[in-house]
């Protein structure tokens, strides 16, 4: 018996050493723009110490009248410096925004491609809120903050180095005092950043929970209103919203504490500088201009230090978002390649052999050592109570679910060895949960690779699904919109539109999972006639609680706890007088059906 090991969909948590190289890798294709932006940022940084240097000649020689030319040269120099600084600042901000948005576009494209390739089990976990949060919030946070970090690191580092050079030029003794306090400020920022990283990770998770709660409420607003679920949904929202507030306040507290702590150490440095400057003025002849220039450079030093230490919190927010984004990109995708490929339509011989399946975290098999065959063109119906494994069994055929053990063969070929696209090209599915996309009637019937089908073919499919008259009555005909989540159509119309989509594909294998569940009796009879035509010559798996859809099936399998307890055609099972006969009598005896 062939056994398949369960796979872990998501990799372990990433570390900083893993994330940084991947961010750089994402930025590297735009290195030319980044280099130009960094050069412009360098120009912005260089203007700050130059403004401080102007103070010395201005105070020592300008106000004394020794240099009359300073009356016009220094103001013009200030204007020129600020103009250059403004142009360079605008250009660098624009280029870095361009880099961030290019990176975001590519990142979201990669995320969406990975999303389409995720195994079905990922979506069954109900993690929709987290997935959406990664697209809408985490990706944007990561890319925008990444460029912000680059800007701040480059600009403030260059500014600090340039200002320190000015300070050393003015007085190395005074500068030494400043050097003593800088390591203490950075150590404080490091301690705070560790706490911020943890808080930001929790905030990312809670943002996803908020998206999920609000999304469920929007989806189920009618149920909330009909069953008076206001208080329950309100309490759920209040809990999540409150947690988000607490996380935000913890982050705000840590960020708010960082600045005054840093400023306190800076004030100690300023106090020491003033004391030393007064001593040098009396002993070494320190001029007012030199001291003013030194203080000007020192005053400008505080702001870049504060921003550089504050970037720790911003960086941790980026790291938490990047961790979430890369976790999606690192999800293990469905294996699509195979040793074999169905280059043309299969005959439709199906064979399940010893199939067993356990859902993740369960010790009880939902399918237990089940075997059966279906010959080309036959219809096999699966009957049983909810949870008996019918849908799981059908979902194994297109490899939405991989069996834990056993084999499923089509025309004698193990489907695990078949290229996934060519496998799924051989089958159509109409399920009880109809999925239609916002767009026109035509776009939903001739969907995907079948978009090139002619209008005549689309009308033929709609005619067979008993929906053509309704579509003709719509103002736009085939171009009429179905609305968001097909809210312009009734449940029965949505079901028939899905059937028309299956008719367009015209595949050799057909899976009908409660395909007429949303139809009234009259529509069901009409659709069943269409399905009978569609099923001719096709191997069909039918799952139904309403037994009218399976009375003509070649083989009916009655399932219970993942095992076949009865099998045969409709007449044989009625004569057997077992579970199927009981189900039949319960459904139809009161209606007088024989």
Domains contained in the chain, CATH given: 16-329 (1.20.1560.10), 338-426+511-521+539-594 (3.40.50.300), 433-506 (3.40.50.300)
Cα–chain-centroid distance for residue 498? 27
Predicted confidence at residue 559, as pLDDT, reads: 92
Which of helix, strand or coil describes residue 355?
strand
In angstroms, the CA 40 to CA 61 distance is 32
Question: How far is residue 310 from each of residues 260, 298, 485, measured CA to CA in Å?
Answer: 11, 18, 45
Which of helix, strand or coil describes residue 509?
strand
Q: Any bridge partners for residue 382, and if so which?
A: 543, 557
Phi first, then psi: what are they for 476, rounded to 5°? -95, -5
What number of helices (H) and strands (E) belong to the chain? 19, 10
Which residues does the chain have with pLDDT short of 70? Answer: 1-17, 55-71, 126-127, 181-182, 185-186, 188-190, 193-194, 197, 222, 226, 280-289, 310, 515-524, 526-527, 530, 548, 588-594
Which of helix, strand or coil describes residue 556?
strand
3-state helix vs strand vs coil in the chain, percent to 5: 65, 10, 25
In angstroms, the CA 342 to CA 419 distance is 8
In angstroms, the CA 569 to CA 546 distance is 16
Residue with tokens 């999304």: 215
**What tokens appear for 155 in the block?**
């600009």
In angstroms, the CA 22 to CA 509 distance is 44
Please give the DSSP secondary-structure letter assigned to residue 416: G
**What tokens appear for 495 in the block?**
């079901």
In angstroms, the CA 194 to CA 316 distance is 8
CB 416 within 8 A of CB 403: no
In angstroms, the CA 184 to CA 187 distance is 5
Half-sphere exposure of 397 (CA within 13 A, CB side): 28
In angstroms, the CA 314 to CA 100 distance is 16
- The DSSP secondary structure of 139-171, one letter per residue, reads HHHHHHHHHHHHHHHHHHHHHHHHHHHHHHHH-
Predicted confidence at residue 286, as pLDDT, reads: 63
Q: What angle do CA 170, 39, 26 make, to 5 degrees?
A: 130
Predicted confidence at residue 177, as pLDDT, reads: 72
Measured from the Cβ of residue 182, the count of other Cβ atoms closer than 10 Å reads 18
Reported pTM: 0.70
CB 162 within 8 A of CB 286: no
In angstroms, the CA 42 to CA 37 distance is 9
- Please report the sign of the dihedral spanned by the C-alpha atoms of residue 277, residue 283, residue 288, residue 289: negative
Which of helix, strand or coil describes residue 204?
helix
Predicted confidence at residue 478, as pLDDT, reads: 92
Q: Which of 382, 395, 348 is nearest to 509 (CA)?
A: 348
CB 227 within 8 A of CB 146: no
Q: Which residues of 303-322 are buried (b: 16+ CB within 10 A; e: fewer)?
A: ebbbbbbbbbbbbbbbbbbb
Which of helix, strand or coil describes residue 555?
strand
Measured from the Cβ of residue 33, the count of other Cβ atoms closer than 10 Å reads 16
Give residues with Cβ within 8 angstroms of 146, minimum separation 6.
23, 26, 27, 100, 103, 318, 322
Predicted confidence at residue 232, as pLDDT, reads: 83
Find the DSSP H helices in 28-69: 31-57
In angstroms, the CA 33 to CA 102 distance is 11
Q: Which of 38, 53, 157, 146 is nearest to 101 (CA)?
A: 146
Find the DSSP H helices in 466-516: 468-473, 491-505
């Amino acid at each position: 018996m062939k056994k398949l090991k369960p796979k872990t969909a998501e990799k372990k948590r990433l570390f900083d050493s893993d994330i940084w190289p991947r961010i750089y890798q994402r930025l590297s294709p735009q290195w030319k723009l980044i280099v130009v932006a960094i050069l412009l940022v360098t120009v912005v940084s260089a203007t700050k110490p130059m403004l401080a240097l102007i103070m010395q000649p201005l105070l020592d020689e300008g106000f004394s009248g020794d240099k009359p030319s300073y009356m016009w040269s220094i103001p013009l120099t200030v204007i020129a410096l600020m103009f250059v600084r403004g142009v360079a600042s605008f250009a660098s901000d624009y280029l870095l925004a361009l880099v961030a948005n290019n990176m975001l576009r590519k990142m979201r494209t990669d995320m969406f491609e990975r999303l389409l390739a995720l195994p079905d089990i990922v979506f069954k976990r109900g993690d929709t809120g987290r997935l959406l949060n990664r697209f809408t919030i985490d990706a944007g946070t990561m890319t925008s903050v990444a460029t912000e970090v680059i800007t701040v690191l480059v600009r403030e580092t260059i500014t600090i180095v340039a200002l320190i050079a000015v300070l050393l030029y003015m007085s190395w003794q005074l500068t030494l005092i400043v050097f003593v306090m800088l390591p203490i400020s950075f150590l404080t920022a490091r301690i705070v950043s560790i706490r911020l990283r943890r808080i930001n990770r929790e905030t990312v998770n809670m943002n996803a929970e908020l998206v999920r709660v609000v999304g469920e409420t929007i989806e189920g607003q009618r149920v909330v209103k009909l069953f008076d679920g206001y208080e329950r949904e309100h309490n759920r929202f209040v809990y999540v919203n409150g947690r988000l507030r607490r996380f935000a306040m913890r982050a705000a507290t840590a960020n708010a504490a960082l600045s005054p702590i840093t400023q306190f150490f800076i004030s100690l440095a300023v106090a020491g500088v003033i004391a030393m400057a007064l001593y040098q003025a009396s002993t070494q002849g320190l001029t007012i201009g030199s001291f003013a220039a030194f203080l000007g450079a020192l005053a400008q030093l505080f702001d870049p230090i504060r921003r550089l230490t504050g970037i720790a919190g911003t960086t941790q927010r980026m790291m938490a978002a990047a961790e979430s984004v890369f976790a999606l990109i690192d999800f293990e995708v469905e294996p699509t390649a195979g040793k074999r490929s169905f280059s043309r339509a299969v005959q439709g011989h199906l064979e399940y052999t010893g199939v067993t399946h356990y859902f993740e975290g369960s010790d009880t098999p939902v399918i237990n050592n089940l075997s059966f065959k279906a010959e080309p063109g036959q219809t096999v119906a699966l009957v049983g109570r909810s949870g008996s494994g019918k849908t799981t069994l059908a979902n194994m055929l297109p490899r939405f679910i991989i069996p834990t053990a056993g084999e499923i063969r089509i025309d004698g070929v193990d489907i695990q060895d078949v290229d996934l696209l060519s496998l799924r090209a051989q089958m159509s599915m109409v399920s009880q949960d109809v999925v239609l996309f916002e767009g026109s009637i035509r776009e939903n019937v001739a969907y995907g690779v079948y978009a090139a089908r002619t209008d005549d073919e689309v009308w033929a499919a709609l005619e067979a699904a008993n929906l053509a008259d309704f579509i003709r009555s719509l103002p736009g005909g085939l171009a009429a919109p179905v609305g968001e989540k097909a809210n312009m159509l009734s449940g029965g119309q949505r079901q028939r539109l899905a059937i028309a989509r299956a008719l367009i594909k015209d595949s050799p294998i057909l899976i009908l999972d409660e395909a007429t569940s949303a139809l009234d009796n009259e529509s069901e009879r009409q659709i069943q006639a269409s399905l009978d035509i569609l099923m001719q010559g096709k191997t069909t798996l039918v799952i139904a609680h309403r037994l009218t859809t399976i009375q003509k099936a070649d083989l009916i399998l009655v399932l219970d706890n993942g095992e076949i307890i009865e099998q045969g055609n409709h007449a044989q099972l009625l004569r057997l007088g077992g579970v199927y006969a009981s189900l039949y009598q319960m459904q139809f005896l009161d209606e007088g059906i024989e």
